[in-house]
Structure 1
Amino acid sequence: MAAVFNAFNTALSPLIVPFLFVWLTGIELASPLGAIVGQLVMIVLLPTLLGVALRTGFGGFFARFDDLYAGLGSLVYLLILLAVVGPNAATILGYGAYALVIAAAALCLNLAGYAVGLASRLVTRDRQEVIAFLFTTSKKEFSIAAAFVAASGLPAEVAIPAAFFAVIQMITSPLAARLLVRR
């Protein structure tokens, strides 16, 4: 269910993100929709489809490595994150106290996502479904921000707030998982 919601979120992002960008910044993205969709297909859709196909077709083989996937996924995610943070390290360090404001905003967004996910209890009592909602709504796809920046030709530092969110997400997700395991 979480993979389906993530795919749906990714499919809607080329339509929603430009509108939100204009609304929040007043700047219109001059990127062709085709370029954005192409970036998203390469960064999100193809790896997801490949993973689902391999898992479905060779479930027994890939199940042996279940303990490794979370770590491998985190490493790939970190590589994407470092591709944004590395070239913009001086800019980020130059933010000073403003970096704390960005981090606080990212944390608020993340916690709001958890709240929306927990609200799924109003619709279902199934614990597995609530957990799927919880993690789907609390995370925002950092790679979508990277795809929009790359396709739009915007400076890489535009993705810095998304990088902050990625770090917050990488901290809160394991904490939330640990809390769920304890219950």
Structure 2
Amino acid sequence: MSTFLETDRLVLRAFAATDTDHLLALDRAPEVMRFINGGRPTSREAIETRVLPRLLRDYPCWGTRGYWAVEEKTTATWLGWFEFRPLDERSPAVVELGYRLNQAAWGRGYATEGSRALIHKGFTELGVERVTANTMAVNSRSRRVMEKAGLSFVRNYTGDWPEAIEGSEHGEVEYVLTRAEWEQG
């Protein structure tokens, strides 16, 4: 499987159809899905027909993917995934950063380490000018990762939730880091 990026402890690689069972386990974990859909499990059919095709998609402006499976480097333990995808498939200027890691990987700095590495690659190799990330306002863990990765809070907003989940009444937040800010950092 194609390696996109390595850090001291992580390998980010292209997704493959063989990741289906890992994705199913990840998206069936109530705490992992708490801020996504209120903790409801995702079905195998949804993983196979909606989730995996999205993760396998190439973006024309890069000729590569925007979602990456992440494994612990020394053990090859599957940890989850990172998103680093252009918002406009024709331009790499603005990308969205995201992550979803299994609960056993929380609190170990993996999300921050992977995010920082993706941001570095984006600004130095991929032509990225602006990185944006968002989460529910009440998702303090994810907000902390965004801050530790160098992004700054820019706004609160109310998203269009098809179904309200606990905490959605507080809205969402957006964090941003520009190339100029990163270079000054």
Which TM-score band applies after superposition, normalised by the shorter structure? 0.3 to 0.5
TM-score by length of 2: 0.33
Structure with more helix by fraction: 1
TM-score by length of 1: 0.33
Structure with more strand by fraction: 2
More relative contact order, 1 or 2 (CA 8 Å, 6+ apart): 1
Larger Rg: 1
